[in-house]
Structure 1
Amino acid sequence: MSAFDKLMAFQRDTQALGQIAGRLGWDQETMMPRGAASQRGDEMAALEAVLHARRMAPQVGDWLEQATATDEAGAAQLREIRRSYERAKKVPADLAKKLAQVTSGAQGKWAAARADEDVSAFIPVLREVVDLKREEGAALAAGGNLYDAMVQDYEHGTTSAQIAEIFDAMRPRLVDLRATVLERPTPKRLEGVFDEAKQMKLTRKLAKTFGYDMNHGRVDKAVHPFSSGSGQDVRITTRTSTSDPFSCIYSTIHEVGHACYEQNIDNDYLLTPLGCGVSMGVHESQSRIYENQLGRSRAFTSWLFEQMVEVFGDIGVPDADSFYAAVNTVHNGYIRTEADEIQYNLHVMLRFDLERALMSDELQVVDLEAAWNDRFKADFGYDVDKPSNGCLQDVHWSVGLFGYFPTYSLGNVYAGCLHQALRQSVPDLDQQLSVGDTTAAVSWLKNNLQQYGGLRSPLETIAHAAGAQPTHEPLLEYLETKFGDIYGL
């Protein structure tokens, strides 16, 4: 075997172990007995120690020095293995293990604190997570910016300064559009009690409608919807509310976007560094274009309205146009995942600024709730009513995902670029969506982006699919046109 072949064989086992770790996380969120949290933390820590040792194994360094690639995919494999190897060498093994153990336990403590509306119960473990992440960030940054080092784990090649520049350009137009829309009459909302079992039946139908392969996946319920896995085992979760079926429907479509990205990657890349989404920003572009530009479009909601009436009967709105307006209502609210397309990015920008402050030690964990509430009041104009609608609403910080939040808005930016290119390539897209046919749309995304996995860098991935370097302009133009039409601006 050549050095390249030896490296790839070793890497395949490492990737397989990583998938097992992911499955433990899925189980923890969906089925694990509540009393097993402590043991699960030990299990996750033990597995992370094995993974960390493999990622920085001396033979990996030797093989990287000796290996040569014969094609573009081989060169990309070496690039990604080298990036992982260099990162692993910077982080002490004991720290990696400790982080896995603490964040596993913190996840359960966050869920309990959220249920009890008790921030004080979560503060001690969050402080421990933040301290460990600062330590990890310092090791990765090697004298540079701690937060930039964290961003590289989710959107490599992008800095916090570049993200801030994009957000600063977007914020004024989003704020103006939000203010203008909120001055208009609010569309009629859905009414009724929506049986949760019926929601789950409909949501599985929608998952299949958007191309999710249930032979290699499943849909379960969790507190915070997510997608897990890659290749031949990709699972999603959603949540239900008897008063708000949109939470279930659009959480599902969102997670299906993530899952289809993973399912549609070229099988030649299975259990290799290229066999998963290239970055969280690109990943989010898929979930957001499925959820918003496709799933919340006037054309698709005309078909979805018929499905809703068939399943639930009278839903409180009289026709497809009213339903489209209800799906896209801009309204005051606290929850990022339930925010309309205009305000969603403002929620992300709030988190981006707060976590940067936490990592730079400008904000202390004990002051997080007050800082969150003050910023929310400044951005949205009203007070947070309870912690589960404020700083306890997201799971991300409990599991150490600092640097992750800005990729949500980067994903929206990327989705805007992809949607513009998709419309040009599929001129009769609305006609197809109006009968619940997403085939052309999801095939275009598979063929132009998803199948390549991690072959290219994040920006190159979007540029290759969209035919131009990404910019925030298509997203803002889409939002201004769409909501101008809905609200008669």
Structure 2
Amino acid sequence: MQAFDDLMRFQRETEALGQIAGRLGWDQETMMPRGAAAQRSEEMAAIEGVLHGRRTDPKLGDWLSQIDDANLDNVGQAQMRHIRRSYDRNMKVPADLAADIARITSKAQGIWAQARENDDVAAFEPILNDVLDLRRQEAAALSGDGDAYDALLNDYEPGETGAELAAMFDALRPRLVALRAAILDKPEIPGVTGTFDEAKQMKLTRVIAKAFGYDMSMGRVDKAVHPFSSGSGQDVRITTRTNPTDPFNCFYSTIHEVGHAAYEQGIDDAYLLTPLGAGVSMGVHESQSRIYENQIGRSRAFTGWLFGQMRDAFGDFGITDEDAFYGAVNRVENGYIRTEADEVQYNLHVMLRFDLERALISGDLNVVDLETAWNDRFKADFGYDVDKPSNGVLQDVHWSVGLMGYFPTYSLGNVYAGCLYQGLRVAVPNLDDQLSVGDTSAATAWLRENLQQHGGLYEPRDVIKRASGIDPSEAPLLSYLEDKFSGIYGL
């Protein structure tokens, strides 16, 4: 079919340009000199203008009108589903608005980083107001008479609604709160002590990344303020961060980002530079990072191997044996930072952000009141006060770059990971024996075969059901958490 061939040729060029834009974002977070921020914002706006022009090119509409999806195989139909969805979305967003969003969010990212460093919320509020205004305009253009937040959410999790996620979170919250309370009523588990050379952390973190199957010939590990994964196909890069007194920050940030990267590296090469050549949604993406980081990486079996690696790298660090190390890796304690939160409390952080950003988009909450609203909600959920903005409202990069609608996918990813882990344990009955010697290959191969290779071929909930054999729900995650932490804390 000539129209389909021409469409796919055009689409591959668009996908390639999108990868270039992503590389500019990676450079901004890792290598770019601070003084280049203003110029980079113009560069990002320029390439976004080109991309928006391609995504709304009249030729796309002509090709789409000529193609009968029924004449295509399942892969072709999936390609068309993504292209039609993208075209319909982008036709609703004016080109100047798309360019303004790219320009302002690129600028806001640097302002946020400086404000976070200085604990200066006031310095960030004006640009956040600008970002929020632009995203509200975009949401209005996308939603028409529908829900504005749902329009933004669907950029990251197609088919989901804020109301559906709120119902899921309402089912999660009571049992998580009860589990947290029971744990914190028990004696505190000691953590690691001492100072951990940051160069040695980075050396070991690369060993860990490779242990989880990250292909360093098509990737790299760098440092950034906020760890992230970037790219797809043959160029997938990750970042991590180091803390001289908390090596787990580095190691588990790395495992988390490797989960994202492994998803992108595991996609069928036939889908390279097509709409199917990337993860199908952020919730599914997060399922990979969380199952790598938690169910596999924080398991008793794998932490036994990691304990030996850390002893070899750092010598004595205050933990006497593998069981104590397992407890230290998984200990539940008060803290402010979402990315450093234990499995029990992590979703409470996400729910806080989800509720606040829905209120921001609806206009029920103003930016000038955001810090107070954050601090009040944190006190209500966690029982103590936020000590400084960098541990509170300024800790995450997401709102500065306009990712409203992104946060709930973190908890949805945890739910998906719970379903996948249930299927993995059945499929690989000797999993613990392998993980105890640092061998994740059976687990990662199962995930690659059953989920990662498909890229965008299936819809999000469908690919989870195909892999796990069950309809996605919060039940497996809750059972996993209650079983695991009851064992650790003797509940």
What letter corresponds to residue 205 of structure 1 in structure 2? V
Matches within 5 A, 1:170-249: 170-249=172-251
Structure 2, gaps ≥5 residues long? none
1:350/1:376 contact within 8 Å kept: yes
Q: Pick from 84, 87, 90: which aligns with 1:88?
A: 90
Q: Secondary structure at the match of 2:399?
A: helix
What letter corresponds to residue 203 of structure 1 in structure 2? T
Q: Pick from 137, 144, 152: which aligns with 1:142?
A: 144
Looking at structure 2, the residues matched to 478 and 42 of structure 1 have their Cα atoms a distance apart, in angstroms, of 47
1:2/1:67 contact within 8 Å kept: no
Q: Secondary structure at the match of 2:457?
A: coil
Partner of 1:109: 111
Partner of 1:433: 435
Partner of 1:9: 9
Partner of 1:33: 33
What letter corresponds to residue 448 of structure 1 in structure 2? N
Q: CA deviation at 1:233?
A: 0.2
Looking at structure 2, the residues matched to 303 and 108 of structure 1 have their Cα atoms a distance apart, in angstroms, of 39
Once the two structures are superposed, what CA deviation does each residue of 1:189-246 show, in whole Å capped at 9, x if it has no partner?
A: 1011000000000000000000000000000000000000000000000000000000
Q: Pick from 435, 446, 449: which aligns with 1:447?
A: 449
Partner of 1:401: 403
Q: Pick from 159, 163, 166: which aligns with 1:164?
A: 166
Partner of 2:73: 71
Q: CA deviation at 1:65?
A: 1.3
What letter corresponds to residue 477 of structure 1 in structure 2? S
Matches within 5 A, 1:322-401: 322-401=324-403
Looking at structure 2, the residues matched to 293 and 32 of structure 1 have their Cα atoms a distance apart, in angstroms, of 35
Q: CA deviation at 1:66?
A: 1.1
What letter corresponds to residue 425 of structure 2 in structure 1? R
Q: CA deviation at 1:67?
A: 1.9
> TM-score normalized by structure 2?
0.99
1:26/1:228 contact within 8 Å kept: yes
1:280/1:404 contact within 8 Å kept: yes
Partner of 1:45: 45
Looking at structure 1, the residues matched to 478 and 274 of structure 2 have their Cα atoms a distance apart, in angstroms, of 36
Q: Secondary structure at the match of 1:396?
A: coil
Once the two structures are superposed, what CA deviation does each residue of 1:349-388 show, in whole Å capped at 9, x if it has no partner?
A: 0000000000000000000000000000000000000000
What letter corresponds to residue 40 of structure 1 in structure 2? R
Looking at structure 2, the residues matched to 163 and 44 of structure 1 have their Cα atoms a distance apart, in angstroms, of 32
Looking at structure 2, the residues matched to 70 and 117 of structure 1 have their Cα atoms a distance apart, in angstroms, of 55
Looking at structure 2, the residues matched to 324 and 25 of structure 1 have their Cα atoms a distance apart, in angstroms, of 36
Partner of 1:23: 23
Partner of 1:118: 120
> TM-score normalized by structure 1?
1.00
Looking at structure 1, the residues matched to 272 and 72 of structure 2 have their Cα atoms a distance apart, in angstroms, of 19
Q: CA deviation at 1:322?
A: 0.2
Q: Secondary structure at the match of 1:229?
A: strand
Once the two structures are superposed, what CA deviation does each residue of 1:401-460 show, in whole Å capped at 9, x if it has no partner?
A: 000000000000000000000000000000100010000000000000000000000000
What letter corresponds to residue 293 of structure 1 in structure 2? Q
Q: Secondary structure at the match of 1:198?
A: helix
Once the two structures are superposed, what CA deviation does each residue of 1:25-63 show, in whole Å capped at 9, x if it has no partner?
A: 000000001000000000000000000010011110111
1:134/1:146 contact within 8 Å kept: yes
Q: Secondary structure at the match of 1:153?
A: coil
Partner of 2:102: 100
Looking at structure 2, the residues matched to 477 and 122 of structure 1 have their Cα atoms a distance apart, in angstroms, of 40
Cα RMSD (Å) of the superposition?
Answer: 0.5
Once the two structures are superposed, what CA deviation does each residue of 1:261-284 show, in whole Å capped at 9, x if it has no partner?
A: 000000000000000000000000
Looking at structure 2, the residues matched to 182 and 63 of structure 1 have their Cα atoms a distance apart, in angstroms, of 60
Partner of 1:481: 483
Looking at structure 1, the residues matched to 191 and 8 of structure 2 have their Cα atoms a distance apart, in angstroms, of 54
Structure 1, gaps ≥5 residues long? none
Q: CA deviation at 1:70?
A: 2.3
1:300/1:435 contact within 8 Å kept: yes
Q: CA deviation at 1:143?
A: 1.5
